[in-house]
Structure 1
Amino acid sequence: MLDNGLREQPAGWERGRVRLMDREKKYTVREMLQFFLSKVWENNRKLLIFSLIQIPVLVLSPYINLVIQKMIIRGITQQYIFSRFLLTVVTGYALILLIQALSEWLEGRSEWYNRVLVNTLLKCVDEKTLNTDYKNVESAEGQQKRQKALNSIYDGGQQLIKVSVSCMVNLCGFILYGITIFSYQKVLFLITAATAAAGYFFNDRLNKYEQKQKDRMADEDRKIKYLEREAAATRAGREIRLYRMQNLLYGIYDKTICSRLALEKNICRGRSIAGSSVHVLSLMRNIFSYVFLIVMVHNGQIKVEDFLFLTGMVTGLSVWISNFMSDLSKLHRFFMFFCCFFEYLDMPETEDAAESHYILNTAPSVRFENVSFCYDGSAHEALKNINLTIHPGEKIALVGRNGSGKTTFVKLITGLYRPTQGRILVNGVDITKYGSKEYFKYPAAVFQDVLLLPVSIAQNVSSATEKKTDGNKVAECLKKVGLWERVEALPDGAGTSINTQVKMNATDLSAGEQQRLMIAKSIYKDSSLLVLDEPTAALDPISENNIYQQYNGLSAGKTSVFISHRLASTNFCDKIVLLDSGKIEEEGSHDSLMKKEGLYYTMYKEQSKYYRKGYACKI
């Protein structure tokens, strides 16, 4: 056991480490293939098995068809025994029919398992979003990278295995047909291969151009999804109608859509140019092949059945090579897109390489030592040289004007961000030594923006699955915040779901009830460090005061931080800290700050005058 209410856990209990990604890192095809194959093997081995079976089936089917056609021509010209000849033809085409049926069945099964793979990749993105540093979720860079990662899955993930199988099929077909043609005439093989390679060059240039356009499209997609989400939101729907914002939103939406369509137009233009170039090359190859084979027949080098067989082979080889090059080009494009997927998964984490880990088991002390913080990309510090001590079990109120740094203070004390300069000590230990994931277990916070999931009231309180939710504990927490009678009267009690927009038999809660539910959630967590970040901003002063007074009793014996823009609601706190422009301007009790007649005094008098008898608002 250690002093200061900390208990040390064995070294190596958690593999804490700093993961940093070189922003210029290049992901190799081998690395990405290893990742995807490992995901397929872990989650869906049947997809790999069915895909491998498809390869010989798809290669042999057209080859056998050409061989049978050659046998038919030879049989007609050389007068085979009719019964034996007919049996050979029927058997051959029956075999082809069987192979094609097997191919269709395998393709259907593979299509389903491809969807499973896409869901697996989407799950990887969701897991990253839910577990990554909060700054990666909040920052514009993180949001952009997430959108690009999702686009890469939708653009390439749904076709990755299918195109990979097609690429292997075309490669095997190229080898089989190439060996056959090479055995007849080397020049014919070389001409066919050279024209197909030239076609790949055009497609490769197109892929690189498309990648640049896709990067720009990710920004437009993010804007479009934001507009669609806000237009459908209930809270936005009120203002849109009352302020007649429809034309404004139409204009913004049309402008964004036009920007995206312009990028799509550029891609289509590039595809048209590349496609035309490939078709010209194919035409030149076919003309040369036919002339070359006709000359060979004329010179008696090959027979009629060989001519038909080789023309089929040349056409088939050109198709195999063109498709192989096209598939390679697609895979190249997919892997270029998937770089965005891996860039998001590899966004920097600030998980600390802590030598030891601690558990808070009492109300902690918190000390800010010369703490400053600046958001990425900002030229101004949100907090500047903060020095503050919060004693165990002490209740402090953090007040100040908008933009003074209150919310940033909350992000730091709850571990969502780390100081740019200085350090935060919890029970005398630097907060970085706890490890972010471990530290998140201890603070309980109630924010201004309420997060209610469309699950039962009990699960919203417990933040756990139904099996892991303690019903009795939920009921006790709801009673403490005065919400139990309301919940008990519902048809399913605490088992009633929230959000009628998602579920038919759900219920909706008022703003005050939502805040009480969030307070019950913080009580359920049974934390020793409590934070309220202006959760009552939307409530009237009386409701706000009732909630704070109620929470004052529930926070007994815990270290608590209360943030409110209404100064009169913080009288119950042991100490009041006034922030202004990111600095601590004043601190002390309510009475001591009123005696100073400083900024706190001015703000308090300004707010309280609206509630004094005889005050008349001047317009």
Structure 2
Amino acid sequence: MSRKGEVIAMRDRTHTLKFLVTRLWQFDQCFFFYYFLDIVLRIMTPLYQLFVSVHLISILMKESDLLSFSKQVLGVIGGLIVLEALKTFVLTTIEKHRVSFHIHMFNDVFAERARLDYPLLVGSDAAKLFDNASRCLDHSEEALGGIIANSAEVMIALLSVLIYINVLAQLSSIFLLLLVVMISGLLVIKHFQNKLLKANRPLHVKNNTKFSYLNHTMGDQRVAKDVRLYSMSAWFKDIFDQLWADYERIVRPENKWKRIEGLYVMGMLVIMMGLAYHQSVQEIRAGQMEPSNFLIYASLVTMMASSLTNFINASATFFLQNEKLMALYYYFNQRPVLNHQPHEAIPQEIKTIEFRNVTYTYPNANRPIINNFNLKIHANEKLAIVGENGAGKTTLIKLMLGLLKPDHGEVLINGIDRSKFAIEDYYRLFAPVFQDNYLFTFTIKDTILQGYEEDSLRYHQVFNQSGMAKVVASLPHGDQTAIVREVNSEGMQLSGGQLQKLKLAQALYKKAPILVLDEPTAALDPISESEVYQNYLAFSKGKIALFISHRLASTQFCERIIYLHKGQVAEEGSHKDLMQEKGAYYHMFETQAYYYREKITEPESEELSEQGGLI
């Protein structure tokens, strides 16, 4: 890493710690009081135990009476009980606050994901950032919870070492030299350990991701058929064994350095213990030390070595967790891509939607998916956008909906650049139904309302128009029936056609002036698909309606058809005009036409056709 890179990394680590402290302070200021009280108590307790033990031994050696000795023992026990009770109370209080903060941050991560501009969620870099931020919260010992605990360990170990070495230096100044040697050796060992851990981190992530995917795949009921019919169990076992072998190969050098560290600490401990014993015996013989104090110095050597090792280990872990936590800092500090300030009021009537020289390239892609695109859509127009897979149809719709921002060019509403509107207001113009339908684990009614205020008259009108009334007529709980059976065992399993009726009702209830149907019927048979499109067309009167598909069930109902090819308008016109031209649209329609002419029907799948399970 360059000098400039190191400076930036150090700055970001500092900002990350500031971010964490600020979040903690905003969440619960009392946490810091208990946090520092815990540090003080954990430093005091071993010292108290050591010195009172020496004090009791000293009393015994002076042959004091049993009653006096018993009283002092009871006093020592009472003090220990108070200290331990206070430690337990503080520790449980801190843990309660830490768990609450962990849950709070977990919720904030997902709330932030719902607030982030959609372009910040697109591409491998965005997915990696979210994945790394989520990993910080995987469990209480990960980056977020771990760095809070480790910062306390660092401070406790450092202060303890300073206290212990100050006492030992009174016995012999050589302890200071040995301390420097021990610290230097541990720092060298930790340098190589951390270098190895940093190099191995991507390997661990890759290995863990494969393990997680394998576990997820084996738990998916849709895979169960293939596993049995294709005798995949032995194959899966081979994959698991290979992943485990890869894991052992990754951790083998890490374990080697741990053994080196353990042997080094043990060697230094033997040297320091030998020095403490030698110096103590010499001073006892010379009458310069009470025999009971021998226990203090002998114990402090072990305690110092243990605290020093804890300090080095906790510091190394702290810096690693700080580096991991940077992902959380970056995640919460992403700059908005879209406009959130209302420079223009949203028009009450949509007269035109225009794409003017629009170009868009996906992150990490080599070429634009939409290139210098121009199109004007008029009030109340019914427009079909068709083309082969990958032609750019869905991307074009996302640009119109405001989910993506053009690299170049403009999207205009009534001649006003879309960027002049606050994006939250702009979203209210559209009621889309996407091809990837995800259902939340709510009731049918809640799914239709989707958080909007309930209008009983409009709800029942939409409920009947969409066909959902017939769907739930036979259900004992009616529109209060839960959905997504994978999460709710008593939920309703929706077929493909039922799912489309539900999403249609949801879109209609929003009462937006622009309706968009983005290839949601790919899983339906041609006749059911045609029915869905006809219903949607019937409900789009007085609105702009766009039908996007690579199948052509919708095109004959539309006033205008755009055939898209490689992000450009290849053909444009009515169904009749394009059929007469006998171009790309004609050949696609003719290839698919037998489905519609012969009215071939396919049995509705009995498999689980709903997607979702989000809570």
Change (3 A) 1:309 1:555: same
Show structure 1 runs of 4+ deviating over 6 A.
none
1:278 aligns with 2:262: no
Letter in 2 for 1:369: R
Letter in 2 for 1:84: S
The CA deviation string for residues 78-118 of structure 1, in whole angstroms up to 9 with x for no partner, is 44455334322321232113212332333233333332232
Contact 2:13 2:326 in 1 (8 A): no
Q: How far does residue 190 in structure 1 lie from its aligned partner after superposition? A: 4.5
Report the TM-score, using the length of structure 1 for normalisation. Answer: 0.87
Change (3 A) 1:221 1:555: farther
1:557 aligns with 2:542: yes
Letter in 1 for 2:464: K
1:478 aligns with 2:468: no
Distance of 1:274 and 1:470 partners within structure 2: 69
Letter in 1 for 2:125: E
| Structure 2 match to 1:528 | 513
Distance of 1:317 and 1:78 partners within structure 2: 30
Gaps in structure 2 of 5+ consecutive residues: 1-5, 601-615
Change (3 A) 1:608 1:269: same
Letter in 2 for 1:129: R
Higher relative contact order (CA 8 A, sep 6+): 1
Residue number among 346, 356, 360 corresponding to 1:369 in the alignment = 356
The CA deviation string for residues 581-619 of structure 1, in whole angstroms up to 9 with x for no partner, is 22210011111112222221222222224555799xxxx
1:178-257 counterparts in 2 under 5 A? Answer: 178-192=165-179, 194-196=181-183, 198-238=185-225, 255-256=242-243
| Structure 2 match to 1:126 | 110
Residue number among 420, 439, 450 corresponding to 1:433 in the alignment = 420
Residue number among 559, 571, 584 corresponding to 2:556 in the alignment = 571
The CA deviation string for residues 471-500 of structure 1, in whole angstroms up to 9 with x for no partner, is 554333221111113224322222211022
SS of the counterpart of 2:305? helix
SS of the counterpart of 1:375? coil
1:58 aligns with 2:42: yes
1:40 aligns with 2:24: yes
The CA deviation string for residues 483-524 of structure 1, in whole angstroms up to 9 with x for no partner, is 113224322222211022211322111110101111111111
Distance of 2:66 and 2:412 partners within structure 1: 96
Gaps in structure 1 of 5+ consecutive residues: 1-21
SS of the counterpart of 1:158? helix
Change (3 A) 1:28 1:603: closer
The CA deviation string for residues 427-458 of structure 1, in whole angstroms up to 9 with x for no partner, is 21222232444433332211112111111111
Distance of 1:409 and 1:162 partners within structure 2: 49
The CA deviation string for residues 295-319 of structure 1, in whole angstroms up to 9 with x for no partner, is 3334443231222222222322332
SS of the counterpart of 2:322? helix
Distance of 2:244 and 2:541 partners within structure 1: 55
SS of the counterpart of 2:442? coil
Residue number among 72, 78, 85 corresponding to 1:88 in the alignment = 72
SS of the counterpart of 1:401? coil
| Structure 1 match to 2:586 | 601
Residue number among 382, 401, 416 corresponding to 2:403 in the alignment = 416
Contact 2:433 2:516 in 1 (8 A): yes
| Structure 2 match to 1:174 | 161
| Structure 2 match to 1:146 | 130
SS of the counterpart of 1:376? coil
Report the TM-score, using the length of structure 2 for normalisation. Answer: 0.87
Change (3 A) 1:610 1:558: closer
SS of the counterpart of 2:533? helix
Q: How far does residue 26 in structure 1 lie from its aligned partner after superposition? A: 4.6
Contact 2:341 2:421 in 1 (8 A): yes
1:270-309 counterparts in 2 under 5 A? Answer: 270-309=257-296
Q: How far does residue 135 in structure 1 lie from its aligned partner after superposition? A: 4.1
Residue number among 425, 438, 457 corresponding to 2:444 in the alignment = 457
1:351-366 counterparts in 2 under 5 A? Answer: 351-352=338-339, 356-366=343-353
Distance of 2:250 and 2:125 partners within structure 1: 21
Q: How far does residue 148 in structure 1 lie from its aligned partner after superposition? A: 2.3
Letter in 1 for 2:23: K
The CA deviation string for residues 541-566 of structure 1, in whole angstroms up to 9 with x for no partner, is 22111111111121112122101223
Change (3 A) 1:71 1:232: closer
Q: How far does residue 251 in structure 1 lie from its aligned partner after superposition? A: 5.2
1:88-127 counterparts in 2 under 5 A? Answer: 88-127=72-111
Letter in 1 for 2:417: D
Contact 2:175 2:272 in 1 (8 A): no
Letter in 2 for 1:134: Y
| Structure 2 match to 1:398 | 385
Q: Identity across aligned pairs (percent)?
A: 26
Distance of 1:532 and 1:193 partners within structure 2: 71
SS of the counterpart of 2:268? helix
Distance of 1:570 and 1:517 partners within structure 2: 23
Distance of 1:490 and 1:182 partners within structure 2: 82
More displaced, 521-530 or 344-353?
344-353
Contact 2:102 2:144 in 1 (8 A): yes
Contact 1:196 1:318 in 2 (8 A): no
Distance of 1:175 and 1:157 partners within structure 2: 28
Distance of 2:322 and 2:419 partners within structure 1: 37
Q: How far does residue 337 in structure 1 lie from its aligned partner after superposition? A: 1.8
The CA deviation string for residues 124-162 of structure 1, in whole angstroms up to 9 with x for no partner, is 332333232334434222222222223333323333333
Change (3 A) 1:178 1:137: same
Change (3 A) 1:306 1:216: same
| Structure 1 match to 2:612 | none
